[in-house]
Amino acid sequence: MTTLSEPPARQHSESETRLRVVLMLEIQDGAQQRFMDVYEQLRHQVAGVPGHVSDQLCQSINDPRQWLITSEWEDQETFLQWVDSPAHREMVKPMHGCVSDTFRSLRYTILRETSAAGATGTRAPEEVPEGLPRTAPTGQAGPPKADPGPDGVVRHALTFTVKPGSEHEVARILSGYTSPRAEVDDTTRLRRTSLFMHGNRVVRAVEVIGSLGDALRHVAMQPEVRAVEEAINPYLEEARQLGDPQAARAFFARAALPAEHQAIAGTPASGRLHRHAVLYPVRPGNGQAVADLLADYDNLATVDPTGPVVTSTVFHRDDVVVRLVDLRVPAEADPAAALGVAGEREAAVLGRLLDLGSEGDLRTVAGLSAVLAARAMSPVTDRTSQPV
């Protein structure tokens, strides 16, 4: 995943061959669980780094202090650019307190590969249309890593912030575009796009049947979509250059908001559903815990065939947590379901993980309503695509 503080080797070729990085660590006595917690946070961040393919965490069966992290990267260049960056140094700081001084980092190019089916060889670089980043618009290598939900739908989101004071104009631009063609190919189709804002934060959630990477590349190539993206560029807090593949990869890596958990009610809903999104005010360092609590609630809530929650997706990266739900009732009619609060105990635990202020008591109806009013995201546009 990382080399911690070891300086990267500078002698490397411009080869496109994939890279395997092996990091051997010795964890301090008593720090193993803390190390696991840190790794759990870091692995989601590293998954969004341009060029990252996969990683594994292993523990020695002979000496529990000895650990191994292996990671695979698209090529040497992308890995070395990341490992030399200030973002990498900041990302791995929490790990230093768990690791002793004895560790070793090794890098290997992947020359041959054997699958379970017996195929060998190296993968060819993916063909991507000119002008688009080689990674899909999540900043991940190749197609975005996203699994379909229980209903077979792949869900993903992007998030970014705009300059304060520009929110109204940005909402106008984002709500006025012409929807791209839903059909991507014989197996992939855009199903739905929902866009929300809270303050100056924008969240765009997409639903895809088939390949998420193919769908996002299809959308990115549409002239009407490119025009909208160019129109909002002057209002972004963090500048981006979508015409530059490297800059585009970096931007979409930062903007990626993966679907951490999806829950679907077993009984199909009848009648109108109410789509609703909440941006949670997470206290620093508690993003994973908040996402896990919301996932636990949704697993139980969707079991009830008559319950208010029909579909829920928890999007999470670092301390940005957004829950998107389809409810049988308006959110205001059941603020506990809209916020994902099961009971008094769960409310107390979630409340400690959030910065809710003096009015935000999740154990009372009034408190739930106040938090919902303060943290509900405003819908900008919600478009469902129909097959052609």
Domain boundary among 79, 109, 139: 109
Place of tokens 């709500």: 175
CA distance 351 to 363: 9
Whether the pLDDT of residue 282 is over 80: the answer is yes
Whether the pLDDT of residue 103 is over 90: the answer is no
pTM: 0.64
**163-165-168 Cα angle (round to 5):** 105
Rounded-to-10 torsion of CA 146, 315, 273, 311: 60
H helices then E strands: how many in the chain?
Answer: 11, 12
- Name residue 265's amino acid: A
Pair (28, 72) in one structural domain: yes
pLDDT of residue 244: 66
Q: What is the domain extent for residue 165?
A: 154-256+380-384
Neighbouring-strand partners of residue 381: 195
pLDDT of residue 146: 66
Domain count, the chain: 3
- Name residue 83's amino acid: V
Interior/surface letters 235-254, b for 16+ CB within 10 angstroms, e for the rest: bbeeebebeebeebbbbbbb
Whether the pLDDT of residue 196 is over 50: the answer is yes
- Name residue 184's amino acid: V
Place of tokens 């996969």: 54
Any domain includes 77: yes
Pair (296, 370) in one structural domain: yes
Element at 368 (helix H, strand E): helix 365-375
Contact predicate 297/346, CB 8 Å:
yes
Pair (246, 290) in one structural domain: no
Any domain includes 43: yes
CA distance 48 to 45: 6
- Name residue 284's amino acid: P
Residue range 238-247: average pLDDT? Answer: 70
Q: What is the SS3 assignment for 126?
A: coil
Pair (236, 265) in one structural domain: no
CA distance 143 to 184: 14
Query: Rg (Cα) of the chain, in Å, rounded?
Result: 22
Pair (249, 305) in one structural domain: no
CA distance 346 to 332: 20
Whether the pLDDT of residue 159 is over 90: the answer is yes
- 67-84: per-residue pLDDT in tens? 888 999 888 888 888 887
Query: Six-digit token pair at 313?
Result: 């997706």
Percent of the chain with pLDDT over 70: 82
Pair (70, 173) in one structural domain: no
Any domain includes 135: no
Pair (290, 231) in one structural domain: no
CA distance 166 to 223: 24
Q: Which of 249, 196, 148, 176 is nearest to 377 (CA)?
A: 196
Q: Count how many Cα atoms sit within 13 Å of the Cα of residue 292 in the half-sphere of its side chain.
A: 9
Residue range 16-32: average pLDDT? Answer: 83
Q: What is the SS3 assignment for 280?
A: coil
Pair (210, 163) in one structural domain: yes
Pair (274, 363) in one structural domain: yes
Q: What strands, in cross-sheet order, belong to the sheet with 19-26? A: 52-59, 66-73, 19-26, 104-109
Contact predicate 58/99, CB 8 Å:
no
Query: Six-digit token pair at 125?
Result: 């670089």
Pair (275, 238) in one structural domain: no
CATH code, 56: 3.30.70.100
Q: Is 289 exposed, middle or buried (0-12, 13-18, 19+ CB in 10 A)?
A: middle
CA distance 28 to 323: 37
Phi-psi region of 44 (alpha: psi -120 to 50; beta: other; left: phi over 0): alpha
Whether the pLDDT of residue 200 is over 80: the answer is yes
Pair (295, 311) in one structural domain: yes
Who has greater pLDDT, 253 or 108?
Answer: 108
**117-144-12 Cα angle (round to 5):** 80
Query: Six-digit token pair at 241?
Result: 């250059």
CATH code, 311: 3.30.70
pLDDT of residue 246: 66
Pair (210, 285) in one structural domain: no
